[in-house]
Amino acid sequence: MAYSDKVLDHFKNPRNVGTLDKSKNNVGTGLVGAPECGDVMRLQIEVDDETGTIKDAKFKTFGCGSAIASSSLATEWLKGKSVDEALEIDNMDIVEELALPPVKIHCSVLAEDAIKSAIADYQQKNGIAVSEKAQASGHH
């Protein structure tokens, strides 16, 4: 299977790899997938308390090239977005941007789940009612 240039680019030069401080209240962490399934994504967002926008996003992913590219792309897209805007990111946007083949669509689904799970974590930590869209995470 040949990978798209965009997948290869994200895989070789992953953006925003790393770890944010989980103990901070304005950091939300999403950990989705399972080692037994061959992919685990951890995606974190740091929300600016004043503006409510996502000022930083980091990820680490155990998985194939498409999973790594999907999460790398997701962190790029998250930065600068409001939480509500972030919830609008759809897995099919990732599929389209990275030209993922049908067998790799689950990688994009996992990335969308990771975003929602991170937002839900952030909202819970801050006593904000978890958005309906963020609750949808983890089910596919």
Partner 1 sequence: MNKKLIYLDNNATTPCDPRVVEAMVPYFYQHPGNAASRNHPFGWAAEEAVDYAREQIANLIHVDPKEIIFTSGATESDNLAIKGVFEMYSRKGNHIITLTTEHKAVLDTCQKIEKMGGEVTYLEVDREGRVNLDDLEAAIKDNTILVSIMWANNETGVIQDMKAIGDICARHGVLLMSDATQVVGKIPVNPKEVGIHLMAFTGHKMYGPKGVGALFVNRKKPRVKVTAQLDGGGHERGMRSGTLNVPGIVGFGKAAEIAAQEMEKDTERLSKLRDKLEKALCERLEEVYINGSVEHRMPHVTNLSFKHVEGEGLMMTFNQNIAVSSGSACTSASLEPSYVLIALGLGDDLAHSSIRFSLGRFTTEEEVDDAIEALVQGVNHMRDLSPIWEMYKEGVDIDSIEWAEH
The amino acid present at 122, given as its one-letter code, is Y
CB of 37 to partner 1, least distance (A): 5
Smallest distance from the beta carbon of 68 to partner 1, in angstroms? 6
Q: What share of the chain is helix, strand, coil (3-state, %, to 5)?
A: 45, 20, 30
Smaller CB distance to partner 1: residue 12 or 48?
Answer: 12
64 catalytic? Reply is no
From the candidates 34, 37, 103, 128, which is the catalytic residue?
A: 37
Q: Of 41 and 47, which has the nearer Cβ to partner 1? A: 41
What are the residues whose beta carbons fall under 8 Å from the beta carbon of 97, sequence distance 6 or more? 6, 73
Q: Which of 107, 110, 120, 134 is catalytic?
A: 107
Q: Could you confirm whether 37 is annotated as catalytic?
A: yes
Query: d(Cα 81, Cα 55) in Å, to the nearest integer?
Result: 8
The catalytic residue positions are: 37, 107
